[in-house]
């Protein structure tokens, strides 16, 4: 059997993330058109890549209906103008959609079935609210296969507070304030300009350019967060301020074999070292990244102290705190989400994984000497994902 080939991350982009509301940035924009924009800009940035050298297109969406239905990878490939010889397919692992698209594409590359794969994700939560058109099997609750709260993400976050009472609301609020501050600082420094691609969109006010995340609030204060209501439970601890907003957005990235990247003159920024998925109790889905992180580190023969950067999704501040608590990382560790996270920019479900990858690649570049990094997130219905990367930048 042939030896597995090395897989590298080349580049990744995203749209701005807009509010999933009738007056949000992308309210009148199709989901697949958002994905097409990301793909076209990614290819424009990597013009040395002949489109016909792309061997597959893997795109994720959680709600695979309407304008993000069909076989999304093929749909987006054709709309983006790729040759008809380039195939594509769709995947769904809810919040880990784009990460799963990446690991699926990486498997093709490692096995020698592909040299270059375009991956990404899109979620238009304004057009397709979470859970809409989903027919949950009544056996889930009737036979007590899962707790009813597992279907409502905000309730699962409240469950984490119950399970880990030492993770208090004020700690969640403090983390949210810091996420907003770090994201604002990153925007001011031009970090996000490098990965966020402007897109012309039609709105109720006419044409405008979507170029900045709508949930960004760098002036957020503890005092303001303390006044917010707790929509998932009376007297609860989860609020709109310490959670990621419901958002519309798309992402796209290029992964390739290391040899193909070198041949084509593509700038390989990170090497994929390993990945892991894990399951937990569905009503405690926020704990998912803990076993996934432990699993991928064990397989790589590394410890958490060997990892120089973490890009962890932030659906809820308490979810990040639970990972920190379980793994042994301080919530204010400078290695963790240095450019802020989903609390500040939003979390368009299946799109988020590539955002984590793009921010990790930038973090590697900004921190000479860093070697290993982790992208991780929790997944609805009780799962977690973790992908381990090695820095290929700053080698000189």
Question: 286 near 350, Cβ under 8 Å?
Answer: no
Type and span of the H or E element at 121: strand 116-124
Neighbour tally for 50: CB within 10 Å: 11
Beta bridge partners of 40: none
Neighbour tally for 298: CB within 10 Å: 12
CA distances from 236 to 164, 168, 220, 285, 352 (A): 14, 11, 20, 18, 27
Q: Check the CA dihedral 59-310-190-365 and report its sign.
A: negative
CA geometry: angle 59, 65, 70, nearest 5 deg: 55
- From the candidates 128, 161, 324, 378, which is the catalytic residue? 378
Q: If DSSP codes are grouped into helix, strand and coil, which group holds residue 246?
A: coil
**Annotated catalytic, 347?**
yes
- From the candidates 95, 124, 128, 345, which is the catalytic residue? 95
Type and span of the H or E element at 33: helix 31-45
What phi and psi values does residue 359 have, to the nearest 5 degrees? -70, -35
Phi/psi region, residue 190 (left: phi>0; alpha: psi -120 to 50; beta: rest), is: left
Cα 252 to chain center, whole Å? 11
Question: 93 near 385, Cβ under 8 Å?
Answer: yes
Question: 319 near 383, Cβ under 8 Å?
Answer: no
| Strand spans (E) along 206-261 | 206-210, 247-257
Beta bridge partners of 118: 57, 254
- From the candidates 127, 128, 161, 347, which is the catalytic residue? 347
Whose tokens are 């899109």? That residue is 122
**Annotated catalytic, 324?**
no
What phi and psi values does residue 77 have, to the nearest 5 degrees? -60, -45
Catalytically active residues, by annotation: 95, 347, 378
């Amino acid at each position: 059997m042939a030896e597995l080939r090395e897989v590298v991350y080349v580049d990744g982009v995203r749209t701005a993330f807009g509010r999933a509301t009738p007056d949000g940035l992308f309210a009148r924009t199709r989901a697949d058109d958002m994905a097409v924009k990301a793909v076209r800009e990614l290819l424009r940035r990597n013009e040395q890549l002949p489109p016909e050298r792309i061997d597959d297109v893997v795109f994720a969406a959680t709600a695979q209906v309407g304008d993000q239905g069909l076989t999304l990878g093929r749909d987006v490939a054709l709309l983006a103008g790729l040759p008809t010889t380039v195939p594509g397919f769709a995947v769904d692992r809810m919040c880990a959609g784009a990460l799963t698209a990446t690991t699926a594409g990486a498997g093709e590359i490692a096995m020698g079935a592909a040299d270059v794969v375009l991956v990404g994700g899109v979620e238009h939560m304004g057009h397709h609210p979470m859970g809409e058109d989903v027919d949950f099997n009544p056996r889930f609750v009737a036979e007590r296969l899962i707790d009813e709260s597992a279907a409502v993400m905000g309730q699962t976050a409240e469950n984490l507070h119950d399970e880990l009472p030492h993770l208090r609301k004020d700690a969640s609020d403090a983390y949210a304030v810091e996420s907003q501050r770090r994201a604002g600082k990153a925007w001011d420094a031009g970090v996000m300009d490098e990965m966020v691609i402007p897109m012309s969109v039609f709105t109720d006010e006419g044409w405008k350019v979507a170029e900045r995340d709508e949930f960004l609030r760098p002036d957020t204060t503890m005092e303001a967060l303390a006044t917010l209501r707790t929509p998932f439970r009376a007297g609860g601890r989860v609020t709109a301020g310490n959670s990621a907003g419901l958002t519309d957005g798309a992402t796209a990235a290029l992964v390739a074999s290391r040899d193909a990247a070198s041949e084509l003159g593509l700038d390989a920024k990170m090497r994929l070292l390993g990945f892991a998925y894990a399951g937990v109790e569905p009503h405690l889905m926020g704990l998912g990244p803990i076993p996934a992180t432990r699993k991928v580190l064990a397989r790589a023969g590394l410890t958490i102290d060997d990892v120089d950067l973490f890009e962890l999704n932030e659906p809820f501040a308490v979810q990040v705190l639970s990972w920190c608590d379980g793994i042994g990382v301080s919530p204010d560790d400078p290695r963790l989400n240095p450019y802020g996270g989903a609390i500040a920019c939003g979390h368009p479900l299946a799109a988020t994984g590539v955002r984590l990858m793009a921010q990790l690649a930038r973090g590697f570049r900004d921190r000479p000497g860093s070697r290993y990094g982790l992208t991780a997130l929790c997944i609805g219905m009780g799962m977690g994902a973790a992908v381990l990367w090695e820095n290929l930048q700053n080698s000189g």
